[in-house]
Amino acid sequence: MSKINITFPDGSKRSYEKGVSAKDIAESIGPRLAQAALAASINDELKDLTTPINDDAKLEILTFDTHKGQEVFHHSTAHVLAQAVQRIFPKAKLTIGPTVEGGFYYDIDIQPLNPDDLINIEREMKKIVHEKFEVSRHKISKKEALVMFKDNPFKIEMIKELPENETISYYQQGEFKDLCRGPHVSNTKQIDAFKLTKVSSAYWRGDAKNKSLQRIYGVSFPDKKDLNKYLELQKEAEKRDHRKIGKELELFQFHEYSPGSPFFHEKGAIIYNELLAFMREEYKKRGYQEVITPLIYDKALWETSGHWEHYKDDVFTLKVDGREFALKPMNCPSHCLMYQNKSKSYRELPLRIADFAPLHRNELKGVLGGLTRVRKFAQDDSHIFCTEDQIEGEMNDLFEFVDFVFRKTFGMEFHLELSTKPVKAMGSKEFWNKSEKVLEDALKKNNLKYKINPGDGAFYGPKIDIHVKDCLGRSWQCATIQLDLNLPERFELEYEGKDGKKHRPVMIHRAILGSIERFMGIMIEQFSGKLPLWLSPVQVKVLTVSERFADYGAKIVQEIKQNGVRIELDDRTESISKKVREAQLEKVNYILVVGEREEQDNTVTVRTFHNEVLGAKKIDLFIKEILKEIKDKKL
């Protein structure tokens, strides 16, 4: 048989017989990889491990350590869940079972479920795992699919929406069959540890006019130790849940009249605006120009940018003057319009446009989750238009910017992932190869460790995603740096070069904090609501020992407030211990107690929300110290 060359993520190559599978290759590398392998990325397309490879190819063996590997594992568990449900409730009708961050869910037309039902379903799932079913993929025609799923109106609806000649795939394990693109794990025995976490109601396709379904959520891991660790972390996470803290501290709320759109109360708005002020301060130092752009655009703009073709399902559309418009899900096309406003010279580049405009994305209602998954949000968004010669310098600056924000300012570690061309991508192969190489070279020149996340790039270009690790070890995708040669081409952007000729600029899409809402939720949980002084809505609270000292307390408040510090006075006729306890629950950074001795000495007795008693301090000294702490943005 003829040989083919397989290229691995580290650039190394090996020769194999034509028709070899990713599973065979994993076994040839070693038993540990073979055991951990879940699926494969072949030329940046997700495939089952058993898929034969007949030509030279790029290959990544996906394990649970990769984001895509986790998605495959979680979705495979969703199939085990669905199989268990159908065994216990034969009349149940399956709809969809996607992955969500950290787990999965399955929407099922079934009677309302209770906690005992979940226990019984889990028990049946364990049986399915122990039955060690091979998981196999099968291709059928649309006509055959309509016959196979004729008793399930939800599957029939989805099948009818597919193009007439499209080949459809389904997966089978034991007696169970489900419509699915895949890929999946090879055997149910690989799904060793799982937990069904909750059940809720959800409308079919998120529309209240449709049938109400039962949505069963769960998590899964290849190892029971990982599940036990997760369950312990969940207990701590519940204490830190930003939704719980946000309600207790009156930071924000949500309402059914506008799902996925946070209402920020006064204290929440302070945190939000302080984050914006922080970024604006950095923009001034780093040469960014802030702009303000419209929120609604004719679909012609989105057709030019490619979003109408590649992103329409995630966009809110509306009719204006008899034409079809859309609320913008991102800023890049509007910044291209601003670039076009007048002709550019190479002397004006790099042009760094920053924008905090509100964005809207039509996320499924079932995946909305507090501030970390919303429909309305704003990003610390920027688009950098530069020459090819300037890319390296801009990338170096962006890596430094990311490090400054996350590690130095917020004390968060992070890792980098290079996301490559997705299946449905825009632009030529040459554009993509060039863009991916530029990003990879930038990472290597800065000696930065990174993982390859195949097929997860934006439809217009590859990207470097920054995944932040919080104090509980959870990973959150926040910052992103994307290289784009496609949009400048589609919008016909130009600049006049040193040679007097017209050239295309390169476009770098970047966000550091990412969604302000999402980052705020992550940050609240990171600090368990006890925010650094510069971000805290109430930085100082003055407590009077008795009403006799209300005037002195008011004087202290006024003196400190004049320095721009956010301060409140508690002169109620309550015990000092109760006032201290309440101030600590409110996460006030510094609690100043004033009584007879403090009034005589013109001092305050200082304690923190960590219940550290710092003792008596002169007012001037206290003000000097906290102003420095605010300025330095100490953790």
List, by residue number, the catalytic residues. 332, 361, 379, 381, 383, 463, 509
Tell me which residue of 454, 432, 451 sits closest to 443, measured CA to CA.
451
Task: Answer for the pair 560, 540: CB distance below 8 angstroms, yes or no.
Answer: yes
Tell me which residue of 108, 186, 190 sits closest to 154, measured CA to CA.
108
Q: In one letter, which amino acid is 421?
A: K
Task: Answer for the pair 177, 148: CB distance below 8 angstroms, yes or no.
Answer: yes
At residue 38, the 3 state secondary structure works out as: coil
Query: What's CA 7's distance to the chain center, in Å?
Result: 30
Residues near 250 by beta carbon (within 8 Å), at least 6 away in sequence: 265, 266, 267, 268
Task: Answer for the pair 594, 622: CB distance below 8 angstroms, yes or no.
Answer: no
Tell me which residue of 140, 165, 152, 158 sits closest to 110, measured CA to CA.
152
Cis peptide before 183 (omega within 30 of 0): yes
Task: Answer for the pair 355, 477: CB distance below 8 angstroms, yes or no.
Answer: no
- For residue 308, what are its two tokens? 């109408």
Residue tagged 């969940």 (tokens): 234
- For residue 157, what are its two tokens? 């609806």
> How far is it, in rounded angstroms, from Cα 312 to Cα 299?
10
DSSP 389: G
Query: What's CA 473's distance to the chain center, in Å?
Result: 15
- For residue 104, what are its two tokens? 């999965």
- For residue 327, what are its two tokens? 């609320």
